[in-house]
Amino acid sequence: MRETVSLEIVFPYWTAYRATLQILIRSPLAIAFASIFPIMGLVLISLWATRNHSITLYDVVLLLGCFTFTPIITAMNIYLARRRNPLSVGPFKYVFDESGIHGSSPAFENTIRWVALRRVIETSEFILFYFAPTNAIAMPKLQLDAAGALNSVREITRANFSSYKDN
């Protein structure tokens, strides 16, 4: 019988925000959409420079909006989802075993089998278990390490998911 790891994860707002950004930057489509506003900001700057436009407060606010649109919208979406969606209320209990990742909270129970995973990526802060191109379960490494489960989760993942990438 293989090892089983059971732990409870809490996602404070900023941890959830950083995890969402980590997932978004690994999606080519999300990067394409998120690039539209900064590109428009650069176009405005180049037009203003070539046409000798005098910068006003309105222009500064417009540029700030262009360059901060995606992070602000992401932060707002997470805030609203956490307020309105009972599935996003933790704490979350996760069990890793040979059959998959079992997640539960007071509002749900879910199992993601290892065969359903598309990829697993370890970053400096998270282990991301992708089950769709832009959807992943993000495990904060600090909380895994504090629970003494980081190496066990890595071992179970390596044993059951052959293309595990740790950075």
The tens digit of pLDDT for each residue in 10-61 reads 888 899 999 999 998 888 888 898 899 999 999 988 888 888 888 889 888 9
Instruction: Please report, for residues 26, 43, 49, 112, 126, the alpha-carbon distance to residue 19 in angstroms, rounded to integers and kept in the order given.
Output: 11, 30, 37, 19, 7
37-46 tens-digit pLDDT:
999 999 988 8
Instruction: Please report, for residues 27, 39, 111, 120, 134, the alpha-carbon distance to residue 31 in angstroms, rounded to integers and kept in the order given.
Output: 6, 12, 29, 19, 11
pLDDT at 164 over 70: no
E strand or H helix that includes residue 146: helix 141-146
The more confidently predicted of residues 161 and 101 is 101
Mean pLDDT of the chain: 88
Residues 6+ apart with CB under 8 A from 133: 27, 29, 118
134-149 tens-digit pLDDT:
889 999 999 999 988 8
pLDDT at 166 over 50: yes
Q: What is the CATH number of domain 5-11+86-166?
A: 2.30.29
| Start and end residues for every CATH 2.30.29 domain found in the chain | 5-11+86-166
Of residues 104, 100, 71, 77, the one with CA closest to residue 89: 104
